[in-house]
A = this chain, B = another copy of it.
């Protein structure tokens, strides 16, 4: 029997590919491996990120040369692939930050319009 999945549509407010600039920002502070980024990304994204997508995203970012990895054979614990940001990645982060600023402006414009109608003009 073919598997049929019906899931509800996503809610509003998701910023597309937000995880990528967040990764670049976190790696700007400290090199880290995929699993180690989970906590910081959870805080930045407002929810626990999908670990599978995280690893896939990291590989894609490395392919794009935004980050570079080296494989660390650990004596204790499983081996880790540790990533650090590249100069190219810093450039991308700047571009992303600029785009995200635009998004902030658009959201702010929406909120002002919304408040004018429904919240008596109060801007929080």
User: In the complex, what residues of B have CB within 8 A of residue A108's CB?
Assistant: 104
Interface-side segment among A7-15, A31-39, A73-81: A7-15
In the assembled complex, the Cα of A67 lies from the Cα of B116 at a distance in Å of 21
In the assembled complex, the Cα of A95 lies from the Cα of B118 at a distance in Å of 12
The 0/1 profile, CB within 8 Å of B marked 1, for residues 70-104 of chain A is 00000000000000000000000111110111111
Range class of the A interface residue count = 35 or more
Report the nearest B residue to A94, measured CB to CB: B118
The 0/1 profile, CB within 8 Å of B marked 1, for residues 1-44 of chain A is 00000000111111111101110010011000000000000011
Binding site for B on A (CB under 8 A): 9-18, 20-22, 25, 28-29, 43-46, 93-97, 99-111, 113-114, 117-118, 124
